[in-house]
C-alpha cells in the first residue's frame, strides 16, 4: 500500500480562504474587522520567524494585526499591564503571547491573565477545563488543525481507535480530548508507555507529537491507518552539503507511507494548519464576542 498524502499546505490555504471570505462578510455586514494581537518578549529567532509569519497571514485574510515586541528584560508587571490593556481593547478579539517566555516570567500566570474569550491559543486554564468537559471553548490551534484534517479524510471518526503519542498541554492532551469528543477510543502514550510499538499497532489513527526525529517506524503502523505527524525536527543533512540541515517529523515518513492509508508530510502537513487555525480561532472569538453565529467548519 502507498499512503494518500494529506496535503496540509493546500488544506491550510483552503481554511485561510474560508476565513478571508467570512472576514469580508463581517466587514460588509457590520463594519467590524477581527483583530489579533501577538505579544513577543525577547529575541528568540524561531519565535521571531513565527510572529512575522502570523502577522503577514493575519493581514492577508483581511484581519487587523497588532504586534507588541517587548525587551527580553520586560518585567512581569509590565507584561501583565499590556495584557490588561489588550483584554479591554474592543478592536482586539484574539491575544497570543508567544512562548517560550524568558525565564524570569511565569508562563502560567501570564497565560491565565488573558481574557479566556480572547485566548486564541486555548491555553487558559478555563479553556482547558471547558474542552475537558466537552463545553464550548477556544481550542489549541495545532490539535484543531489535526482534527480538521482527520475529519476531512474520514468523515466520521466515531468508534475508531486513536493513539496520541505525547502528553504535552499544547498538543497531546487537547488532541486526546478532541478525539474523545468525536467518539474515538483514545490512548495517550508517552515515554513510559509499556510496549509502545504494540500500542501504536492497534491504532486506526496515530498522532505523533513527541519531538523526537523519526521515532515511529513504519512497522509500528497498522496497514491502512491514518498518521498525523506533528513533529518538526531539524536534523543534520550531510548529503546536502557540510553544515546543512533538513526538517523531519516524529514519524519515519518513507517506511510509514508504505503501510499507512494516509499520512501528513513534514514539512507541509500539520505545520501550515496551525497558523490557519489561529486565524480561524480569531474569527470565532470575534463572532462570539458580538453574539453572531459561529463560522461554519472552522471550530471543533
Binding region for ligand GUN (CB under 6 A): 96-99, 121, 141
**CB-wise, 26 or 139, nearer to ligand GUN?**
139
54 included as an active-site residue: yes
- 292 CB-near residues (< 8 Å, 6+ apart): 26, 30
How far apart are CB 18 and ligand GUN at their closest, in Å? Answer: 20
Neighbours of 169 (CB within 10 A): 11
7 included as an active-site residue: no
Spatial separation of the C-alpha atoms in residues 204 and 198, rounded to whole Å: 13
Q: Does an H or E element contain 163, and which?
A: strand 161-165
**CB-wise, 123 or 220, nearer to ligand GUN?**
123
How far apart are CB 73 and ligand GUN at their closest, in Å? Answer: 20
How far apart are CB 25 and ligand GUN at their closest, in Å? Answer: 27
**CB-wise, 102 or 258, nearer to ligand GUN?**
102
**CB-wise, 51 or 216, nearer to ligand GUN?**
51
Catalytic residue among 18, 22, 98, 182: 98
Spatial separation of the C-alpha atoms in residues 268 and 253, rounded to whole Å: 13
Integer-rounded Cα Rg, in Å, for the chain is 19
C-alpha cell at 103: 525565564
**CB-wise, 92 or 141, nearer to ligand GUN?**
141
Catalytic residue among 54, 118, 173, 222: 54
98 included as an active-site residue: yes
Catalytic residue among 121, 182, 229, 250: 121
For residues 188, 194, 196 and 201, what is the CA-based torsion angle, rounded to 10 degrees? -90
Neighbours of 26 (CB within 10 A): 20
How far apart are CB 200 and ligand GUN at their closest, in Å? Answer: 25
How far apart are CB 223 and ligand GUN at their closest, in Å? Answer: 33
C-alpha cell at 112: 491565565
Spatial separation of the C-alpha atoms in residues 147 and 61, rounded to whole Å: 22
Q: Where are the beta strands (DSSP E) in 175-225?
A: 185-189, 205-208
Closest-by-Cβ residue to ligand GUN is 99
Active site residues: 54, 98, 121
Amino acid at each position: 500500500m502507498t499512503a494518500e498524502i494529506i496535503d496540509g499546505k493546500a488544506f491550510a490555504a483552503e481554511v485561510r480562504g474560508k476565513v478571508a471570505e467570512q472576514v469580508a462578510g463581517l466587514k460588509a455586514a457590520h463594519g467590524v474587522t477581527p483583530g489579533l494581537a501577538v505579544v513577543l518578549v525577547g529575541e528568540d529567532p524561531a519565535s521571531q520567524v513565527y510572529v512575522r509569519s502570523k502577522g503577514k497571514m493575519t493581514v492577508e485574510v483581511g484581519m487587523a494585526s497588532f504586534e507588541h515586541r517587548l525587551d527580553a528584560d520586560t518585567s512581569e508587571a509590565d507584561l501583565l499591564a499590556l495584557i490588561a490593556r489588550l483584554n479591554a481593547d474592543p478592536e482586539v478579539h484574539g491575544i497570543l503571547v508567544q512562548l517560550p517566555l524568558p525565564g524570569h516570567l511565569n508562563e502560567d500566570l501570564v497565560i491565565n491573565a488573558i481574557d479566556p474569550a480572547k485566548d486564541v491559543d486555548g491555553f487558559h486554564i478555563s479553556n482547558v477545563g471547558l474542552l475537558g468537559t466537552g463545553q464550548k471553548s477556544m481550542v489549541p490551534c495545532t490539535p484543531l488543525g489535526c482534527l480538521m484534517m482527520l475529519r476531512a479524510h474520514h468523515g466520521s471518526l466515531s468508534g475508531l481507535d486513536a493513539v496520541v503519542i505525547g502528553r504535552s498541554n499544547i498538543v497531546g492532551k487537547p488532541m486526546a480530548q478532541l478525539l474523545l469528543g468525536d467518539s474515538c477510543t483514545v490512548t495517550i502514550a508517552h515515554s513510559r508507555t509499556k510496549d509502545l510499538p504494540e500500542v501504536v499497532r492497534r491504532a486506526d489513527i496515530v498522532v505523533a507529537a513527541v519531538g523526537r526525529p523519526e521515532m515511529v517506524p513504519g512497522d509500528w503502523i497498522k496497514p491502512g491507518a491514518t498518521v498525523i505527524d506533528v513533529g518538526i525536527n531539524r536534523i543534520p543533512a550531510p548529503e546536502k552539503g557540510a553544515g546543512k540541515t533538513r526538517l523531519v517529523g516524529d514519524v519515519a515518513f518513507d517506511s510509514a507511507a508504505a503501510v499507512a492509508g494516509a499520512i501528513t508530510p513534514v514539512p507541509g502537513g500539520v505545520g501550515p494548519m496551525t497558523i490557519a487555525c489561529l486565524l480561524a480561532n480569531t474569527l470565532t472569538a470575534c463572532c462570539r464576542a458580538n453574539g453572531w453565529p459561529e463560522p461554519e467548519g472552522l471550530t471543533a
